[in-house]
Amino acid sequence: MDESSTHTKKLVAYTYSCPQCGHVYKDKLDLSITKEKPDPHYEEDKARFCLTEEQGQKYLAEKRNLEEMAKLVEDWKEREANKAAYDAARSLKRVNIGQLADTLRPALEMAEYGEIRIEKPALGHHVTVEFSCLDDKTDRGDYQSRKTLKKTVTEALRETNWRLTSTAIEYRLGYLTSTLRAYESEEDLVELVKKDEEILKKYAIKEGGNSPGKLFTEDGKEVVL
């Protein structure tokens, strides 16, 4: 298409023509400014379709209340669906940093580890502490020493709010070090016990394998979900 145009202050006119068949197409761009007339029904429509300041505040307050109620209902449903996990989380012994060494010592000494030390904690988003000990069993090698220590610490802390972190246990000439993490909030504790079948089994077991909806406590009472 061939294109040509003419310009004025208020209009641009375009002409498009086909050099083969002679077809012509015209278009225009209006540059004039037209002042809009006031809407005679503006105030009437505003009253019909818009909220006043007072109505708006009332609506927002009611909306917040409904959202809070919905959240409470969802929270209640979640707690009922995971009752065993919440019961197990509440049962965990809250061990503070000062009690940590004494909590570990009996199990570690029985497994022939000594010189148990808890270092200064790192108080970030989560509380973590470095701990160390010596392997008193001189004929135990690197791999077996680390494996036994991991199993011993895991069992010793199973029913507490502390766990070994994913950091590997280091072994140098019978000296072992690793990191422990504390779980403090209810949410964290629930997520912790959900991953531990041994703890959950103490509070409820599923009847019939994957059969949904039936949980039983240790004394045989059914937990209604």
Instruction: Lowest mean pLDDT of 1-10, 31-40, 145-154, 204-213, name the range.
Output: 204-213
What pLDDT score was predicted for residue 195?
80
Instruction: Lowest mean pLDDT of 8-22, 146-160, 169-183, 210-224, name the range.
Output: 210-224
- pLDDT tens across 201-222, in order? 776 544 333 334 445 554 555 5
Nearest to 146 by CA among 156, 162, 133: 133
- pLDDT tens across 21-71, in order? 889 888 988 888 888 888 899 988 988 899 888 988 999 999 999 888 888
Q: Return phi, psi of residue 95, to 5°.
A: -95, 125
Tell me the average pLDDT across 7-23.
87
What pLDDT score was predicted for residue 85?
79
What pLDDT score was predicted for residue 130?
93
What pLDDT score was predicted for residue 5?
86
Q: Which CATH class is domain 94-195?
A: alpha beta
Portion of the chain with pLDDT greater than 90, in percent: 35
Percent helix, strand and coil across the chain, each to the nearest 5: 40, 25, 35
Instruction: Lowest mean pLDDT of 37-41, 148-152, 183-187, 202-206, name the range.
Output: 202-206
Domain borders along the chain are 1-33, 94-195
What pLDDT score was predicted for residue 211?
38
Q: State the Cα–Cα distance between residues 72 and 118, nearest whole angstrom.
A: 41
What pLDDT score was predicted for residue 185?
86
Q: 200: how many CB neighbours lie within 10 A of its CB?
A: 19
Q: Are 95 and 136 a contacting pair, CB within 8 Å? A: no
Q: Indicate the DSSP class of residue 35.
A: P
- Pairing relation of β-strands 205-206 and 214-216? antiparallel
| Three-state secondary structure call for residue 216 | strand
Q: 148: how many CB neighbours lie within 10 A of its CB?
A: 18
What pLDDT score was predicted for residue 203?
66
What pLDDT score was predicted for residue 220?
52
| pLDDT tops 50 at residue 225 | no
What pLDDT score was predicted for residue 213?
45
Q: Return phi, psi of residue 75, to 5°.
A: -65, -40
Q: State the Cα–Cα distance between residues 108 and 101, nearest whole angstrom.
A: 10
Q: State the Cα–Cα distance between residues 36 and 80, nearest whole angstrom.
A: 61
Q: Are 135 and 141 a contacting pair, CB within 8 Å? A: no
Q: What is the DSSP code string of 59-126?
A: HHHHHHHHHHHHHHHHHHHHHHHTHHHHHHHHHSB---HHHHHHHHHHHHHHTTEEEEEE---EESSS
What pLDDT score was predicted for residue 156?
92
User: What amino acid is encoded at 29 in this protein?
Assistant: L
What pLDDT score was predicted for residue 82?
74
Q: State the Cα–Cα distance between residues 59 and 47, nearest whole angstrom.
A: 16
